[in-house]
Amino acid sequence: MRGLTLEPSSPDRWREVRGTLRRLLAEGADPAGLFADGAQGSLLEPAPAGQRFPTPRFPRGWQGPFRRVAHHRDPDSLRLLYRLLHRHQTEKGLPERALDPDVRELVARDAAVRRDAHKAKAFVRFREVAPDTFAAWHRPDHHVLPLVAGFFARRFGDRPFAIFTPDATLHVREGELTWAPGAPRSAVPDADGLDDLWRTYYRATFNPARTNLKAMRAEMPAKHWSTLPETRDLRALVAEAPARVAAMAARAERQPTVADVLPERRSLETLREAAPACRACPLHGPATQVVFGEGPADARVVLVGEQPGDQEDRRGRPFVGPAGSLLREVMASVGLPPGETYLTNSVKHFRFRGKRRIHDRPRAGEVQACRPWLHAELELVKPEVLVLLGATATRSLLGSRVKFRDVRGKVVATPFAPHTVVTVHPSAILRAEDGATLKESLSSALALARSLLSPSICRAATKW
């Protein structure tokens, strides 16, 4: 019987193992007669300097796995490598035999070393031990430091650094790699000035709604946690996760929305009945009543204004004040029949200031809160032409990036109707000095809307 041992962590481990394997093969050693036991000491004499052994038959596909398995911590790995090499000299097609127990063992041990090397690349953490000088301590399962030395030198070689492991230490300075014996964890300080920022990042990037500790443990084995500062926050992060999720849900819960009152079965009637219960914005408080849209459910044209005014608020109907009369007058003049038109507003409650009930522009949050009502109306009526009156309606349905002045008087594309026309609000005409010009543009916009309607015959046909 002969024993096989090697220095536990030699930087040139693969070359030594390869030399040993070649020599054993040249000597015709019987794989069954070898034992591997570090305690016994090597019965092999070191290869005499300059002596070379013939290169044996060696499959190309084994180069990587052999090199890696040579760094496996179990000394029995060397016996496995020699047995495979020995068998390969006489057995044909051994490397392809995925079911052979030795080949399977090679694959399994290779995977273990590869994973360990990968984890070393991931979890080695450098501390700045002197200005622009870095050091890390890491405990791998196998003797992987020689396997990853090149990676670290390529990546971090522009500054001096050292990686300490219990088996060996690697120093890199100006492209020069030097090796020293292993060191305990105390060789490298536990903290670094940047830890605080890193932990801040780690806490912020975690989504408490998706806690999955099993997945985390599988990928980040607890034995590495001692050198990973972020793991000190784990307990707190996990403990507070349910509370954070609950707080988020409660916050959403406390804020009433249109969804709370939107009826399941949708028709203009059910919507109108549900609207008075809406608490999605605070406007329902001061206003007299909700002012819902008005018109036939199969209207071909929908006109959207801003919000009800004083008159509308008192009477509960849209466009019945001064601006409404003006609008109805212009509609009549271009031949937009009221019977085929649905009138509504972006916001369904009146917003006003002071005792004299002065009109006050609705805020973006209120427009947004009310938008689901408008969407629901448009989905039911499905107009052929949609007319947006003024900046508020435009912002509500086209978004805040679209500038009203850029689209005014134009036909734009929206998902709500085949054609959408943007124009001024009738109340702007009442306020403006050159009301006549504005009235002219409202009139031409409505005429344009009228002309965009398909001939009624088509409409009748699609209705059948």
Q: Is the dihedral of CA 320, 321, 327, 330 positive or negative?
A: positive
Minimum CB distance to another protein smaller for 301 or for 370: 370
Q: How far is the CB of 432 from another protein (least distance, A)?
A: 28
**Cα distances (Å, whole numbers) of residue 74 to 80, 112, 161, 208, 454:** 10, 11, 29, 41, 83
Q: Cβ of 257: how many Cβ atoms within 10 Å?
A: 14
Q: Rounded to whole angstroms, how far apart are CA atoms 423 and 410? A: 8
Q: How far is the CB of 181 from another protein (least distance, A)?
A: 23
Q: Rounded to whole angstroms, how far apart are CA atoms 95 and 91? A: 10
**What string of DSSP letters covers 76-112?**
HHHHHHHHHHHHHTTSTTGGG-TTSHHHHHHHHHHHH
Q: How far is the CB of 415 from another protein (least distance, A)?
A: 4
Please state the φ and ψ torsions of residue 130, each to the nearest 5 degrees. Answer: -150, 160
By C-alpha distance, which of 89, 95, 106 is closest to 26?
89
Contacts of 143 (CB under 8 A, 6+ apart): 8, 9, 13, 71, 72, 73, 167, 168
Q: Rounded to whole angstroms, how far apart are CA atoms 274 and 377? A: 13
Minimum CB distance to another protein smaller for 248 or for 461: 248
Q: How far is the CB of 131 from another protein (least distance, A)?
A: 12
Q: How far is the CB of 359 from another protein (least distance, A)?
A: 22
Minimum CB distance to another protein smaller for 26 or for 151: 151
Q: How far is the CB of 208 from another protein (least distance, A)?
A: 8
Minimum CB distance to another protein smaller for 113 or for 397: 397
The secondary element (H helix, E strand) that includes residue 353 is strand 352-353
8 A C-beta contact, residue 389 and residue 439: no
Q: How far is the CB of 193 from another protein (least distance, A)?
A: 9
- In one-letter notation, the amino acid at residue 411 is V
Minimum CB distance to another protein smaller for 82 or for 206: 206
Minimum CB distance to another protein smaller for 179 or for 202: 202
Minimum CB distance to another protein smaller for 63 or for 151: 151
